[in-house]
Amino acid sequence: MRVKVLETGSIYYNYGIVALTADEEVKGGLALHLLETGSAVEPLDEAAKAWRPSSEESADSEDPAEEEDPEEEGADGDELDIDATAPDVLGWVGDDPNRAEEALAAENAKDKPRSTLVKQLERIAGAGEE
């Protein structure tokens, strides 16, 4: 299975943060993970083109566009939940250096900050300084 990444960003996969660049080709399990999580990718082979969300997921929503923007569902998308999973925190941050700094400060204030998450947040926060 192969997909082409459409947007530069990062994703949490296989116990780590994976940086992705636009136009990069990804294959195998990571490609499937990108499809499953609704990442901005373009299928490149028949297996990826044939992939469909499970019938339970597709039955929950008549309009797929509704699922793509969770922030519109309520005000909760505008607030940081530092106790959320690392992928959720990174999803909230996106590529926003200001949000990365906010999340970094909150994560470092914890008794046991997640080192991998801290490194990724530092990278995103540092991108705004360039």
List, as one string, the DSSP characters of 75-91.
GGGGS--TTS-HHHHHH
pTM above 0.85, yes or no: no
CB 6, CB 27: distance < 8 Å: no
8 Rama sector, left if φ>0, alpha if ψ -120 to 50, beta otherwise: beta
Q: What confidence tens digit (pLDDT) does each residue in 29-72 have?
A: 898 888 888 888 888 888 888 877 654 444 444 554 444 444 44
Contacts of 128 (CB under 8 A, 6+ apart): 97, 98, 100, 101
Q: What confidence tens digit (pLDDT) does each residue in 92-110 have?
A: 998 899 999 999 999 999 9
Q: Which residue has the tokens 């991998």?
A: 116
